[in-house]
Amino acid sequence: MTVLLYLVPIALGLGLLGLAAFLWSLRSGQYEDLDGAAVRILDDSDVEPHDPAPRA
Amino acid sequence: MSPAIDLSAFVETAPSGEHRLDLAVEGITCAACIGDIERGLAPLPGLASARVNYTHHRLTLIWGEDGFDPSAAVARLARLGYKAHPFRPSRQEEIEAAESRDLLRRLAVAGFAAMNIMLLSVSVWSGNVTDIGDETRDLFHWLSALIALPSAAYAGRPFFANALRALRNRSMTMDVPISLGVTLALGLSLYETIHSAHHAYFDSAVMLLFFLLLGRVLDQSMRRRTRAVADNLMAMRGETAVLLGPEGAREVPVRAVRPGDDVLVRPGDRVAVDGVVIEGTSEIDASLVTGETAREPVRAGAQVYAGTLNVSGALTVRATAPADSSLIAEVNRLVADAAEARSRYLRLADRAARIYSPVVHVTALLTCIGWLVAGATLHDALVIAIAVLIITCPCALALAVPATQVVAAGSLFKAGVLLQSPEAVERIAACDMVVFDKTGTLTLPEPRIADRERHDPELLGVAARLALSSRHPLAVALAAEARGAVPYAGVEERAGEGVVATIDGVEARLGSPVFCSLEDEAAEILAADPEATAIAFRMGDRGEVFALRQALRPDAREVVETLRKAGFRMMILSGDREGPVAAAAAASGIAEWRARCKPADKIAVLEALKAEGRKVLMAGDGLNDAPALAAAWASISPVTAAHVAQASADALFMGERLAPVAAAASIARRALSIMRQNLGIAVVYNMIAVPLAMAGHVTPLIAAAAMSGSSVIVTLNALRARPDRSASPARSTAETARASAPAVQARLGA
């Protein structure tokens, strides 16, 4: 059962890491505009087109 | 040309010298608008950042100390096709934003704790039936305690604080049994852990907090969304005033006007502040304030009220202190009286808590005594009694009402109804009668052209397009027929007469019948329809007189019919004269009506109905309706309503249709019946669980399974508060999508 001595801290550490990540994302305002975040990722106008053909 | 709007009152300056301005943006309809706006504003010199919030249809501009004129950004947005309205997030909205972040943090902590403790608990449960060693179990229990105690102390604070407050006020809310259950579960578990016992309830306590916080977070986010829409609509009403200062006229937000300031009210403007006319003569349309549609002439020395419409001439008004009039003072007094009577309403959940808590606590006590009498040790008897309290800890009961409330608020939002008070659903559901105000509620707030079919469509089109160039209220009403046309170039406005332009080489005039030499035609039309007002149009040798009048909301008759079928009695209470009220009653199909009602008369009628045992849903918009809205069992206002009326209403409805009123009634009734069902489910759960607990058979595994099971069932049942698919939701959404605030509505239609 000595395996518990490092498995339990690892499990808790991972959980705490997740919690910390969530608190960071909350603090940096990522939950202020949920709908916007969902559509912003589809906006590719900031990418330079590689294809020189004219775009519609 | 109107003076440029002065935005300085809306700009916030951080100590670092960073300036920030929030704008509510009209016209954001799709995701591409985000890029349009942000890229469109990026080249403006001095602007540090422009960020669109797509959820709330807002834009935040940030710039540094070096000067940047935000009105340049507003002008640029106008060229891009978006109307931006400056606003400051209301205090309420800021508080709610902070609260929701706080709740999310607590939810995250509870979630973390629940997951990790469950990991340990499942090991203990499976170990208990196989071969877990005592040391390992103790280690796992101590680890659980280490996680549970601090997390519960942090995550449970909202419940503990509310429970303490309730106890101090000697009242009872659901938070009291919740707090008691959680505290006892943790205390008992800690005691058992210290004594190396087999069972601990850390997982139940923390999971309970997680579920309850989840319910609160959802409730909060629904309310925030509603509040944001309401605040945007308020900003879009663009409440500004033209202040006449030593440095000339400038447009400022209404809040910046102080008593004693002189304000210019142009024809077609709403009077922004209460005050006294010091210069100019005009006619005032006070329908939003008193419900009276006939106009009242004013000259220097006359008192004018905020919210009334200046019809014909420019006025200079000296602002007086608000509420400095007998009408407004009376309205405020009546509203205060009514609101006090109303605050005694006890919500369904609190009523349930009042019955529930004593029953549960007495049961636990009896269990303890029973086991002692039966010869158990004090320790065993106490453990079983506390198990009763843990298993009855009202997880399902506490979720029963809020979960339904969240789903119902979401459906109402889709139907175009914004809830303003937390108990609005319960109140509206209880109503069996609807009382309508006429002006602005049953009818549209602005006049519309009467018998459109009678006019030549081509001529009407030209007249409407010409009307776009005038601010006169009649012209504005006619301009609604222009359907997206652009104004003619070179239009000249003649004060008190009308507008003139040359179209295809022919002179065209729009204005008073005299201005267009069509007095006889106008007199004929007015004789036929005394409620109407005439506006004349002449182009070359062709002349036309258009009659404009208050029009019923387009679906008023259908909505009245729907409500009647649903068993509602209906009545009109109006401040207007008998003629127009009788006409509106006949047109909408409402048999009972009263005219010439003062605010106190409306309350008297409502009191009489209450004495008959009726619960009234009051729909009204005017300042004169505010006391009635506050006094009625439940109330709903259109978003175009006067401020005081809006503040007194339980709910607001958007758009130019009346359908949301019927939707509110049916969704609320359905939601209430589901709330009752959910309470029933919670009772059934307790009837099964409590005997088990009293018999001493509840292990932590059973407690965890029963509590999460009942919560899930109640939540799933709450989802049924969404309206039936068969009840043509597609149609109602499409209808709201066409309504007055396109930005907001497009979101709803999506």
Using CB atoms, pick whichever of B52, B101, B133 lies closest to residue A26: B101
Best-predicted range by mean pLDDT among B251-255, B278-282, B697-701? B278-282
Q: What residue ranges do the domains of chain B occupy?
A: 446-552
| Mean pLDDT score, B440-454 | 80
Say what the pLDDT of residue B291 is.
Answer: 66
Q: What is the DSSP letter of B18?
A: -
CATH topology for B446-552 is Calcium-transporting ATPase, cytoplasmic domain N (3.40.1110)
Q: Find the chain B residues whose C-beta atoms sit closer than 8 A to any C-beta of A.
A: 31-32, 34-35, 39, 52-56, 101, 104-105, 108-109, 112, 115-116, 119, 133, 136, 139, 143, 147
- Nearest Cα residue in chain B from A27: B101
pLDDT of B750 higher than 70:
no
Distances (CA, A) of B355 to B180, B362, B397: 16, 11, 12
Whole-angstrom distance, CA of residue B178 vs CA of residue B750: 40
Band (pLDDT 50/70/90 cuts) for residue B344 is: low
Band (pLDDT 50/70/90 cuts) for residue B435 is: very high
Percent of chain B with pLDDT over 90: 15
pLDDT of B150 higher than 80:
yes
pLDDT of B223 higher than 70:
yes
Tokens representing B259 are 């008593």
- Token pair 């001595």 is found at A5
pLDDT digits (tens, 9 = 90+) for A25-56: 999 888 888 888 888 888 777 676 665 555 44
Percent of chain B with pLDDT over 70: 91
Which residues are paired to B276 by β-bridges?
B303, B318
Asked if residues B178 and B394 have their Cβ atoms less than 8 Å apart, the reply is yes
Q: What angle do CA B617, B619, B622 make, to 5 degrees?
A: 140
Tokens representing B580 are 């127009």
Nearest to B645 by CA among B658, B667, B630, B657: B630
Say what the pLDDT of residue B745 is.
Answer: 37
Cα pseudo-dihedral B732, B733, B738, B740, rounded to 10: 90
List CB contacts (< 8 A) between A1 and chain B: 133, 136
What's the Rg (C-alpha) of chain B?
A: 31
Cβ neighbour number for residue B369 with a 10 Å cutoff? 12
Band (pLDDT 50/70/90 cuts) for residue B724 is: low
Q: Which residues contact residue B698 at a Cβ distance below 8 angstroms, ignoring those fewer than 6 apart? A: B387, B388, B390, B391, B689, B692
pLDDT of B145 higher than 90:
yes
Alpha helices in B480-540 (DSSP H): 519-528
- Nearest Cα residue in chain A from B97: A32
Asked if residues B438 and B590 have their Cβ atoms less than 8 Å apart, the reply is no
Measured in angstroms, the CA of B229 and the nearest CA of chain A are apart by: 14
pLDDT of B665 higher than 70:
yes
Say what the pLDDT of residue B729 is.
Answer: 40
pLDDT digits (tens, 9 = 90+) for B530-566: 777 788 888 888 888 888 877 888 888 999 999 999 9
Phi (first) and psi of residue B241, to 5 degrees: -135, 150
Cross-chain Cβ contact A39/B147 below 8 Å: no
| Mean pLDDT score, B170-187 | 85
What is the number of helices (H) and of strands (E) in chain A?
2, 0
Using CB atoms, pick whichever of B105, B108, B116 lies closest to residue A11: B116
Say what the pLDDT of residue B275 is.
Answer: 84
Say what the pLDDT of residue B321 is.
Answer: 67
Distances (CA, A) of B328 to B370, B591, B607: 64, 31, 21
Whole-angstrom distance, CA of residue B707 vs CA of residue A16: 26
Using CB atoms, pick whichever of B34, B139, B147 lies closest to residue A40: B34
| Mean pLDDT score, B380-397 | 80
Cross-chain Cβ contact A43/B31 below 8 Å: yes
Cross-chain Cβ contact A15/B104 below 8 Å: no
- Token pair 């029973």 is found at B370
Phi (first) and psi of residue B492, to 5 degrees: -110, 130
Whole-angstrom distance, CA of residue B699 vs CA of residue B290: 66
Using CB atoms, pick whichever of A22, A39, A42 lies closest to residue B108: A22
pLDDT of B629 higher than 90:
no
Whole-angstrom distance, CA of residue B112 vs CA of residue B118: 10
Cross-chain Cβ contact A36/B133 below 8 Å: no
- Nearest Cα residue in chain B from A42: B31
pLDDT of B567 higher than 80:
yes
Q: Which residues contact residue B569 at a Cβ distance below 8 angstroms, ignoring those fewer than 6 apart? A: B432, B433, B434, B592, B614
Band (pLDDT 50/70/90 cuts) for residue B219 is: confident
Cross-chain Cβ contact A8/B105 below 8 Å: no
End-to-end Cα separation, chain B, in angstroms: 36
Q: Return the residue in B101, B146, B206, B747 with the most chain A beta carbons within 10 A, the one to mutate for interface testing.
A: B101
B246 CB-contact burial (10 Å; exposed 0-12 / middle 13-18 / buried 19+): exposed
Asked if residues B98 and B89 have their Cβ atoms less than 8 Å apart, the reply is no
Nearest to B625 by CA among B599, B596, B586: B599
End-to-end Cα separation, chain A, in angstroms: 65
Measured in angstroms, the CA of B85 and the nearest CA of chain A are apart by: 19
List CB contacts (< 8 A) between B55 and chain A: 32-36
Mark whether B520 is an active-site residue: no
Asked if residues B108 and A23 have their Cβ atoms less than 8 Å apart, the reply is yes
| Mean pLDDT score, B254-283 | 81
The CB-side HSE value for B344 (13 A sphere, CA atoms) comes to 5
Mark residue B385 as left, alpha or beta (left: phi above 0; alpha: psi -120 to 50; beta: remaining): alpha
Three-class SS state of B249:
strand
| Mean pLDDT score, B332-360 | 76
Tokens representing B611 are 């004495």
pLDDT of B493 higher than 90:
no
Say what the pLDDT of residue B723 is.
Answer: 65
Say what the pLDDT of residue B394 is.
Answer: 66
Band (pLDDT 50/70/90 cuts) for residue B323 is: very low
Whole-angstrom distance, CA of residue B495 vs CA of residue B514: 13
Cross-chain Cβ contact A12/B147 below 8 Å: yes
Identify the residue with better confidence: B203 or B253: B203
pLDDT of B176 higher than 80:
yes
Measured in angstroms, the CA of A55 and the nearest CA of chain B are apart by: 16
The CB-side HSE value for B683 (13 A sphere, CA atoms) comes to 11
Say what the pLDDT of residue B3 is.
Answer: 45
Three-class SS state of B281:
coil
- The one-letter amino acid code at B13 reads T
pLDDT of B739 higher than 50:
no
Cross-chain Cβ contact B31/A1 below 8 Å: no
Q: Which DSSP string do the residues of B364-393 spell out, in sequence order?
A: HHHHHHHHHHTT--HHHHHHHHHHHHHHHS
Identify the residue with better confidence: B371 or B461: B371
pLDDT of B202 higher than 80:
yes
Say what the pLDDT of residue A51 is.
Answer: 58
Q: Are strands B417-419 and B303-304 parallel, antiparallel or unpaired?
A: unpaired
Whole-angstrom distance, CA of residue B168 vs CA of residue B354: 15
Q: What is the pTM of this model?
A: 0.76
Q: Which of B203, B269, B285, B437 is catalytic?
A: B437
Q: Are strands B309-310 and B282-285 parallel, antiparallel or unpaired?
A: antiparallel
Q: Which residues contact residue B460 at a Cβ distance below 8 angstroms, ignoring those fewer than 6 apart? A: B449, B452, B481, B544, B546
- Nearest Cα residue in chain B from A10: B116
Cross-chain Cβ contact B104/A1 below 8 Å: no
| Mean pLDDT score, B709-719 | 84
Three-class SS state of B426:
helix
Q: Which residues contact residue B542 at a Cβ distance below 8 angstroms, ignoring those fewer than 6 apart? A: B459
Measured in angstroms, the CA of B661 and the nearest CA of chain A are apart by: 28
Using CB atoms, pick whichever of B54, B108, B143 lies closest to residue A36: B54
Say what the pLDDT of residue B731 is.
Answer: 41
| Mean pLDDT score, B221-236 | 79
What is the number of helices (H) and of strands (E) in chain B?
25, 27
List CB contacts (< 8 A) between A18 and chain B: 112
Mean pLDDT of chain B: 82
Whole-angstrom distance, CA of residue B484 vs CA of residue B399: 49
Q: What residue ranges do the domains of chain A occupy?
A: 3-39
In Å, the largest CA–CA distance within chain B is 109
Whole-angstrom distance, CA of residue B582 vs CA of residue B383: 71
Cross-chain Cβ contact A26/B35 below 8 Å: no
Asked if residues B315 and B284 have their Cβ atoms less than 8 Å apart, the reply is no
Identify the residue with better confidence: B271 or A17: A17
| Mean pLDDT score, B92-102 | 86
Identify the residue with better confidence: A13 or B685: A13
Using CB atoms, pick whichever of B31, B56, B136 lies closest to residue A1: B136
Within its chain, how far is the Cα of B316 from the centroid? 34
Asked if residues B93 and B228 have their Cβ atoms less than 8 Å apart, the reply is yes
Using CB atoms, pick whichever of B31, B39, B147 lies closest to residue A39: B31
Say what the pLDDT of residue B564 is.
Answer: 92
Q: What is the DSSP letter of B5?
A: B
pLDDT digits (tens, 9 = 90+) for B596-608: 888 888 888 998 9
User: ipTM surpassing 0.90, yes or no?
Assistant: no
Q: Find the chain A residues whose C-beta atoms sit closer than 8 A to any C-beta of B.
A: 1, 4, 8, 11-12, 15-16, 18-19, 22-23, 26, 31-36, 39-40, 42-43, 45
Identify the residue with better confidence: B173 or B651: B651
Asked if residues B588 and B607 have their Cβ atoms less than 8 Å apart, the reply is no
pLDDT digits (tens, 9 = 90+) for B6-60: 777 778 888 888 888 888 888 787 888 888 888 888 888 888 888 888 888 889 8
List CB contacts (< 8 A) between B54 and chain A: 33, 35-36, 39-40
